[in-house]
């Protein structure tokens, strides 16, 4: 017998707001025992600016999570503890390698409860960190504000809020997807077509929302001021965390831990679209039909079975992760469309969904190029020119945590041996692969050709032009790593690939 089509409510997914909680995130924890945390969050930017956050947190007593009584309270506690943890780690000239018990102890408790890693993830930064400006108005980009930020800047707010708006808009598609699955079970092609059309329209609107990032989030501010606070502790040797972070909870269980940083790659929404439409993502660099872990020959190192995108599920709240698994076990749309390929309306609606999802990923590549790859190249270039002039005249504020991805020095403090690199080629190929895989299930042969990279997109042209601009300099690059958000990406690997994260 077929498993039942999952009910979103059983997985903390709302039929109206999707992965945003059905109750609005709390502004403040109600139990006065947590007033000390809330006071820190109320003065968060001032404490970071004055570099007093660590001292204040060091003096904070351990306040256990025993006075949290419902999900909104657990989520608020997680969100503010995660902000405090990242502020503590990255809010100084050097990163803090040890997280004190006042943060670690309750953070591990709330993370356990929410089944999410104990650091700032997409859930803490975005899903549980917003409020409507006017309660009576719809949850759209022009009616939302953030609850907590590191910098207090409009750019940081906007960075989170675009995602909130995408989640809110995309949330309305969750029931459509489940209805399409049910209709396919019932052999009802007209309903499947109708739901697919609505999904394609939603995806188109998500793409437009994504482009609004440019309105208020400046790439320079993002790269140098916001992104460093989102960094994780995995592969962060060059940033000063060779072992990760020591989560000191005051007990003998304290341990070094390594996690990827907070990233939109941890959003469940796009993964849900992938699952429902039958889009599969392979490990970076591998092509369709290559052997996986289970099939590898004896003695040959198997290729990893899961892609980075799949790994990101570990950073989602437990119920959301399980929702994706449950939908995966009933996903049938691709097969249904294939079996009814003579139905033109159906195949066009299905291929349109893939085209819209692919277009969204294409726009995203352009964003990543402008906000991370170009900025990282500019920063490296500036760093090299300073080194070659033997000067270090950049004010301290411009260095510190912001330098983590481009100041790749050896133990002696001197730049490492040169590594031939092409700057960002691994991050962008990963994103391009994900984009092109989106087109692979297309039913119509011509659509499949176009959607799997048959022609260069605007993003491809822009990325190529930027590579040309920096190309010559990068042949002399010293650094081999680019720190994205959740991941560190190899720069020297031809054709790309996730080095580690
Ligand atoms: C300034 C804005 C943004 C930047 C700089 C950015 C950057 C990145 C980076 C570097 C990655 C690679 C993984 C990592 O290192 O974390 C990534 C992946 C991803 N991002 Fe973004 N991102 C931005 C906005 C968004 C938004 C608003 C969305 C929501 C639609 C989004 C959705 C994704 C997804 C789904 C992935 C996984 C790859 C994929 O499925 O294609 N990003 N992003």
Q: What is the pLDDT of residues 322-354, one digit of tens each?
A: 999 999 999 999 999 999 999 999 999 999 999
Mutate to test the pocket of ligand 1, among 121, 164, 262, 368 (most ligand atoms within 8 A of CB): 368
Assess whether the C-beta atom of 309 lies below 6 angstroms from ligand 1: yes
Question: What local confidence, expressed as pLDDT, does residue 222 receive?
Answer: 97
Strand 488-490, strand 481-483: pairing: antiparallel
* Tens-place pLDDT, residues 213-245: 999 999 999 999 999 999 999 989 989 999 999
209 lines ligand 1 (CB under 6 A): no
pLDDT, position 114: 98
DSSP, collapsed to helix, strand or coil, labels residue 302 as coil
| C-alpha 39 – ligand 1 centre gap (Å) | 32
- Ligand 1 pocket member 349 (CB < 6 A): no
The answer, yes or no, to whether residue 42 has pLDDT greater than 50, is: yes
Pair of tokens at residue 90: 């990255």
Contact at 8 Å (CB) between 226 and 153? yes
Q: Is 490 in the pocket of ligand 1 (CB under 6 A)?
A: no
**Model confidence band, residue 5 (pLDDT cutoffs 50, 70, 90):** very high
The confidence band for 381, taking pLDDT boundaries of 50, 70 and 90, is: confident
Instruction: Name the token pair of 99.
Output: 């997280």
Q: Whose CA is nearest to atom 38 of ligand 1?
A: 265
How far apart CA 80 and CA 27 sit, in angstroms, is 10
CA dihedral angle for residue 196, residue 197, residue 202, residue 208, rounded to 10 degrees: 130
Is the CB of 496 inside a 6 Å radius of any atom of ligand 1? Answer: no
Ligand 1 test: best mutation among 364, 374, 434, most atoms within 8 Å of CB?
364
Ligand 1 centroid to 421 CA: how many Å? Answer: 23
Secondary structure element (H or E) that encloses residue 257, with its range: strand 255-257
Q: Please give the pLDDT value at position 2.
A: 87
- The closest-lying atom of ligand 1 relative to the alpha carbon of residue 487 is 15
Q: 501 or 312: whose pLDDT is higher?
A: 312
pLDDT score recorded for residue 489? 72
Which residue has a Cα nearest atom 37 of ligand 1? 265
Sort residue 453 into left (φ over 0), alpha (ψ -120 to 50) or beta. Answer: left
Please check the confidence at residue 384 and state whether its pLDDT lies above 80: no
* 427 CA: nearest ligand 1 atom: 12
**278 pLDDT tier (thresholds 50, 70, 90):** very high
Q: Report the nearest-CA residue for atom 28 of ligand 1.
A: 264
Closest CA to 160 of 127, 199, 189: 127
Calculate the alpha carbon distances from 108 to 99, 114, 115, 248, 350 in Å: 11, 10, 10, 10, 43
> How do residues 197-209 score in pLDDT, each as one tens digit?
999 999 999 999 9
DSSP 279-301: ---PSTTPPTT---GGGPPTTSP
- Choose the residue to mutate in 224, 273, 485 for probing ligand 1, maximizing ligand atoms within 8 Å of C-beta: 485
**Nearest atom of ligand 1 to the alpha carbon of 274:** 40
Among 109, 18, 104, 90, residue whose Cα is nearest residue 58: 104
pLDDT band (50, 70, 90) for residue 473: low
Q: Encoding tokens for residue 6?
A: 């999952």
For 215-232, b/e burial (b = at least 16 CB within 10 A) is ebbbbebbbbbbbbbbbb
Ligand 1 atom 18 nearest Cα: 265
All residues at 6 or more sequence positions from 393 whose CB lies less than 8 Å from its CB, including other chains: 386
Backbone angles phi and psi of 308, in degrees to 5: -55, -40
pLDDT value at residue 144 = 98
Predicted confidence at residue 305, as pLDDT, reads 56
Of 267, 283, 257, the residue nearest 210 (C-alpha) = 267
| pLDDT band at residue 469 using 50, 70 and 90 as cut-offs | confident
CA–CA dist 478, 329 (Å, integer): 46
Is 188 a residue whose pLDDT tops 70? yes
**pLDDT at position 397:** 37
For the whole model, what pTM was predicted? 0.90
Q: Is the pLDDT of residue 1 over 90?
A: no
Residues 350/277, Cβ–Cβ less than 8 Å = yes
Are 171 and 18 in contact by the 8 Å Cβ rule? The answer is: yes
pLDDT top residue among 75 and 473: 75
Cα–Cα separations (whole angstroms), residue 175 to 70, 76, 179, 180: 26, 27, 6, 8
Instruction: Give the pLDDT of residue 380.
Output: 83
Six-digit token string for 254:
């304290």
Residue 480 reports pLDDT greater than 60: no
pLDDT at 136: 96
Nearest to 435 by CA among 456, 411, 419, 414: 456
Structural tokens at position 340: 């009814």
Three-class secondary structure assignment of 438-493: HHCCCCCHHHHHHHHHHCCCHHHHHHHHHHHHHHHHHCCCCCCEEECCCCEEECCC
Would you state the pLDDT for residue 471? 67
Range of lowest pLDDT (168-177, 256-265, 410-419, 475-484): 410-419
CA-proximal residue: ligand 1, atom 25 (nearest): 264
Q: 422 pLDDT exceeds 70? A: no
Please tell me the distance from the alpha carbon of residue 500 to that of residue 434, in angstroms, as a whole number: 17
pLDDT average, residue stretch 379-390: 76
Per-residue pLDDT, averaged over 191-200, amounts to 98
Please enumerate in sequence order all residues whose Cβ is within 8 A of that of 471, keeping only pairs 6 or more positions apart, or say none: 422
Protein residue whose Cα sits closest to atom 31 of ligand 1: 264
Q: How far is the CA of 164 from the centre of ligand 1 (A)?
A: 14
pLDDT at 43 over 80: yes
Residue 419 has pLDDT above 70, yes or no: no
Q: Is 231 in the pocket of ligand 1 (CB under 6 A)?
A: no
Average pLDDT, the chain: 87
Q: Among 35-39, 107-111, 279-283, 494-498, whose mean pLDDT is lowest?
A: 494-498
- The yes-or-no verdict on residue 399 having pLDDT over 70 is no
Q: What integer pLDDT is reported at residue 453 of this predicted model?
A: 77
- CA distance linking residue 102 with residue 54, whole number of Å: 11
What's the pLDDT tens digit per position in 45-76?
A: 999 999 999 999 999 999 999 999 999 999 99
How far is residue 245's CA from residue 247's CA, in Å, rounded to a whole number?
A: 6
| Whether pLDDT at 462 is above 90 | no
Domain boundaries in the chain?
A: 8-263
Maximum average pLDDT range among 188-202, 390-404, 476-490: 188-202
**Residue 371 to residues 217, 356, 365, 378, 379, Cα–Cα distance (Å):** 9, 22, 10, 11, 12
């Amino acid at each position: 017998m077929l498993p039942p089509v999952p009910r979103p409510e059983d997985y903390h997914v709302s039929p109206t707001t999707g992965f945003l909680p059905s109750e609005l995130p709390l502004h403040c924890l109600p139990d006065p025992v947590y007033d000390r945390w809330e006071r820190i969050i109320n003065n968060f930017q001032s404490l970071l600016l004055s570099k007093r956050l660590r001292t204040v947190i060091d003096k904070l007593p351990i306040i256990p999570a025993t006075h949290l009584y419902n999900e909104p309270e657990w989520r608020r506690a997680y969100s503010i503890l995660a902000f405090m943890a990242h502020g503590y780690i990255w809010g100084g000239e050097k990163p803090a390698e040890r997280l004190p018990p006042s943060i670690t102890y309750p953070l591990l408790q709330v993370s356990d409860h929410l089944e999410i890693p104990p650091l700032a993830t997409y859930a803490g930064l975005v899903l549980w960190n917003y409020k409507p400006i006017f309660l009576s108005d719809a949850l759209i980009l022009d009616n939302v504000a953030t609850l907590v930020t590191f910098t207090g800047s409009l750019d940081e707010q906007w960075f989170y809020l675009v995602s909130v708006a995408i989640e809110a808009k995309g949330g309305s598609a969750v029931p459509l997807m489940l209805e399409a699955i049910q209709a396919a079970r019932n052999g009802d092609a007209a309903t499947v077509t109708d739901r697919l059309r609505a999904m394609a329209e939603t995806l188109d609107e998500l793409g437009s929302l994504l482009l609004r990032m440019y309105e208020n989030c400046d790439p320079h501010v993002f790269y140098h001021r916001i992104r460093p606070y989102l960094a994780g502790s995995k592969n962060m040797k060059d940033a000063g965390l060779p072992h990760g972070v020591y989560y000191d909870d005051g007990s003998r269980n304290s341990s070094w831990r390594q996690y990827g940083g907070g990233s939109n790659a941890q959003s469940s929404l796009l993964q849900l679209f992938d699952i429902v439409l039958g889009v599969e993502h392979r490990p970076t660099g591998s092509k369709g039909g290559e052997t996986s872990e289970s099939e590898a020959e004896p003695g040959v190192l198997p290729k990893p079975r899961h892609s980075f995108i799949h790994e990101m599920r570990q950073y989602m709240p437990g119920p959301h992760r399980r929702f994706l698994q449950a939908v995966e076990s009933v996903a049938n749309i691709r097969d249904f469309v294939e079996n009814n390929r003579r139905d033109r309306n159906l195949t066009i609606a299905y291929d349109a969904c893939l085209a819209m999802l692919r277009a969204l990923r294409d726009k995203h590549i352009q964003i990543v190029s402008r906000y991370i790859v170009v900025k990282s190249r500019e920063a490296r270039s500036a760093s090299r020119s300073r080194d070659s002039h033997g000067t270090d005249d950049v004010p301290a504020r411009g260095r510190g945590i912001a330098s983590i991805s481009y100041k790749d020095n050896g133990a002696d403090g001197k730049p490492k041996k040169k590594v031939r690199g092409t700057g960002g080629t691994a991050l962008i190929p990963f994103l391009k692969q994900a984009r092109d895989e989106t087109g692979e299930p297309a039913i119509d042969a011509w659509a499949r050709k176009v959607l799997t990279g048959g022609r260069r997109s605007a993003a491809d042209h822009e990325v190529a032009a930027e590579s040309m601009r920096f190309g010559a300099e990068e042949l002399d690059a010293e650094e081999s790593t680019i720190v994205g958000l959740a991941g560190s990406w190899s720069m020297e690997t031809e054709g790309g690939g996730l080095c580690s994260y």
